[in-house]
Amino acid sequence: MIVDLQSKLLPVIDGADQAVNEAAWLGALALDLEVPVWLTEQYPEGLGDSDPRLLEALSNARRWSKVHFGAHDDPVLARVLAECGRRQIILCGAEAHICVLQTALGLLEAGYEVYWLTEAIASRRREETRLAMARVTSAGAVAVSADMVAYEWLERCDGDRFKRAHRNFLKARSARPLRF
């Protein structure tokens, strides 16, 4: 679940580009592995749509417009999420200390396992991101990186999915390739 990485909000977010790049990379891998990806948009009339890079990379993701800070407080979203049967949620987005935190706390309260995607969560001020992570992990969420999640999902390095994921990883991070 990618929370509120929206075009009019991102210019004031510390670490916005990294958050978008990591969310797009892991989200694309999730879709390739048939893991559902959801984008939420807080009051898009004022904050705009999700970042165009996300919309391009995740064209098959489900989009939710919301007015609650905590996405799980939306009764339709909560019902559809429960019906999909997934109990583990990888969570990222902005702002860490508002919508992402309240979404995480609501999901935890509803019995979901929440994984806080550290390098894809941001706020206007870095300190608020740090405080939100401390609060959510003390409430039971688990801090993870995109690499941790990706390699758990992939399980092995000898398939086409791994090769696609590795190529996309290099593009997202302008990294040097590993030779396999």
CA 97 to chain centre: 15
The structure tokens listed for 33 are: 């592995």
Examine the pLDDT at 61 and tell me if it is beyond 70. Answer: yes
User: SS3 sequence, 27-73?
Assistant: HHHHHHCCCCCEEEEECHHHHCCECHHHHHHCCCCEEEEECCCCHHH
Q: How many structural domains are present in the chain?
A: 1
Average pLDDT taken over every residue of the chain? 93
Express each pLDDT in 131-180 by its tens digit.
Answer: 999 999 999 999 999 999 999 999 888 888 888 877 777 676 654 445 55
CATH number, position 11:
3.40.50.850
- 164 inside domain: yes
- 147 inside domain: yes
**Rounded distance, CA 18 to CA 113, Å?**
24
pTM: 0.91
- 180 inside domain: no
Residue 173: the pLDDT is 66
Q: Edge-to-edge strand order for the sheet containing 2-3?
A: 62-66, 38-42, 2-3, 88-94, 113-122, 142-144
- 118 inside domain: yes
User: 34 lies in which domain range?
Assistant: 2-173
Question: How much of the chain is helix, strand and coil, in % rounded to 5?
Answer: 50, 20, 30
Residue 176: the pLDDT is 46
- 9 inside domain: yes
3 state SS of 11: helix
Residue 40: the pLDDT is 98
- 16 inside domain: yes
